[in-house]
Amino acid sequence: MDTSATDPEALRTVRSLLGDEGYAQAFAPIEEASGLPNAAYWSKDWLALEQGRVFRRSWVFAGAEAEIPEPGDMKPIDIGGAPVVVVRGQDGRVRGLHNVCRHRGTKLVSEACRKSSFTCPYHAWNYGLDGKLRTRPHFSGPDKLDRFDDGGGEKLDLLAVRVETWNGCIFVNVSGDAEPLEDWLAPLLRRTQVYDFSAIRWAGKIDFEVKANWKLVYENYMEGYHVFAVHPRLLKFAPMNVRWSGEWDDHVFYNDYNFPEMEEGRGDGLPHYPDLSPADEKRGLWFLCFPHFAAEVFPDQFSLLVSYPVAPDLTREELHIFLIGDAATSEVYREQRQAVMKMWDDLNREDLGMLELLQQGRLSPAYDGGRLSPHWEGPTHQFGRRIVEKIISV
């Protein structure tokens, strides 16, 4: 690897946590490689590196715009371990703010809600939806009210977090210096030019709690190797012989297949993207925009599997479904919409059992990364390498 742009301190920490052998494994050719060592799945110090140096320095999906449709709607979300809130302002704009009071640091918003302003639960400092400090009761003495409506006074506004949106998806970059969002999405967009994503509308989401490390979610997501053993319905829809390993294009993993027949939940019964060719009507593509934006494209949908690490052995997952035009909300399509939700819910639950077993296996001193299939798991191995590379990069 190119070591010219390496942060020496991060590299030292990585080597001490993974061991020299484990570190070398991340860069070994797939024929000889194993996965990352167990420390990467159990160590709090390792997770802190991932949160601080991967999640905070990347684009991270924070939710669908449709989750905060009206002014005052807000959704708190921890990104890279940092409390953030995305909020729709009176002007209709989506903003990202650090979800922490400028006084003593109380977390301001604990659940999704609609409010006309932010009032800190501790000493009731009040901030506008744009984050501007408005009033501060009793701060300067009993029964005094400091007012900041005219923009004067101390600049103790809530601090902004960089936010961009793309076709109803909200992305946040805590460090503020990630590449432009369009560049980050470019490898996905290059491969999906026949899909008119301006047609997608949010149909809903499903939340999961997984007792496993967040990386296992994506290692599992990338490899089609387990499909024959874990997913009977999916196997019927897309058998092993239409599958390949997929590959990375820069920081975006992609994979695809042509399926023999549409099924309810994938292509059958709901409107499709406009003007797809007959071949594209029977095609599925899936992506992972590093680190965690996993998007699946079928003729009738754009579906996301997004994971947020909570602890080394605990992950929060959001599964978001976008459908085409009216299909997302119209009563006419209610049943078919539920069929799509059920298909993903069932499929994901089949994986969850495996993820939890994988996590438990990582407690074993007899296992430290195993042996990966060169046919199927090259991209999985490269995922681990990308994490190490991102952590040690300047």
Summarize as ranges the residues that interact with ligand FES (CB under 6 A).
101, 103-104, 106, 120, 122-123, 125
Closest to Fe ion by CB, 182 or 346: 346
Residue 122 binds: one of Fe ion, ligand FES, none (C-beta under 5 to 8 A by kind): ligand FES
Ramachandran category for residue 278: left, alpha or beta (phi over 0 → left; psi -120 to 50 → alpha): alpha
Three-class secondary structure of residue 263 per DSSP = strand
CB of 106 to Fe ion, least distance (A): 40
User: Alpha-carbon distance 321 to 41, whole Å?
Assistant: 29
Q: How far apart are CA 336 and CA 270, in angstroms?
A: 7
125 binds, among ligand FES, Fe ion, none (CB under 5 to 8 A by kind): ligand FES
Asked if residue 257 lies in contact with residue 242, where contact means CB atoms within 8 angstroms, the answer is: yes
From ligand FES, Fe ion, none, interface partner of 234 (C-beta below 5 to 8 A by class): none
In the bound state with Fe ion, the residue whose beta carbon lies nearer, of 51 and 220, is 220
Q: Hey, what's the torsion of the CAs at 132, 134, 139, 145, to 10 degrees?
A: 170
Q: At what angle are helices 334-361 and 214-222 packed, to 10 degrees?
A: 110
Residue 148 binding target from ligand FES, Fe ion, none, CB below 5 to 8 Å by type: none
Return the number of the residue (219 or 351) whose C-beta is nearest Fe ion: 351
Q: Are 285 and 271 in contact (CB under 8 A)?
A: no
Q: Which does 123 bind (CB under 5 to 8 A by kind): ligand FES, Fe ion, none?
A: ligand FES
219 makes contact with Fe ion (CB under 5 A): no
Most distant pair of Cα atoms in the chain: their distance: 75
Give least dist CB 78 to ligand FES, A.
Answer: 19
Binding mask 351-380 for Fe ion (x = CB under 5 A): x-----------------------------
> Judged by CB, which is closer to ligand FES: 133, or 170?
133
Shortest Å distance, C-beta 120 to ligand FES: 3
- Taking the complex as a whole, the smallest distance from the CB of residue 143 to ligand FES amounts, in Å, to 17
Give the nearer residue to ligand FES in terms of CB position, either 123 or 283.
Answer: 123
Closest CB to ligand FES among residues 17, 124? 124
* Angle of the 8-26 helix axis to the 378-392 helix axis, nearest 10: 170
Q: How many residues bind Fe ion (CB under 5 A)?
A: 1
How many whole angstroms from its chain centre is CA 391?
17
Q: Which is nearer to Fe ion, 37 or 379 (CB)?
A: 379
State the nearest-atom distance from the C-beta of 45 to ligand FES, in Å: 29
Sequential DSSP letters for 127-189: E-TT--EEEEETTTSTT-EEE-TTS-S---PPPEEEEEEETTEEEEESSS-SPPHHHHHHHHH
The entry of Fe ion, ligand FES, none near residue 351 (CB within 5 to 8 angstroms by kind) is Fe ion
Rounded to a whole number of angstroms, the minimum distance from the CB of residue 126 to ligand FES is: 9
C-alpha separations of 21 from 27, 48, 245 in Å: 10, 21, 26
What residues numbered 317-356 form the site for Fe ion, per CB under 5 A?
Answer: 351
Of the chain, the end-to-end C-alpha distance in Å amounts to 14
Beta-carbon count within 10 A of 360 CB: 12
Q: Under a CB-based contact definition with an 8 Å cutoff, are residues 63 and 35 in contact?
A: no
Q: Which residue is nearest to Fe ion (CB)?
A: 351
Smaller CB distance to Fe ion: residue 18 or 355? Answer: 355
Q: Could you list the residues that contact Fe ion (CB under 5 A)?
A: 351
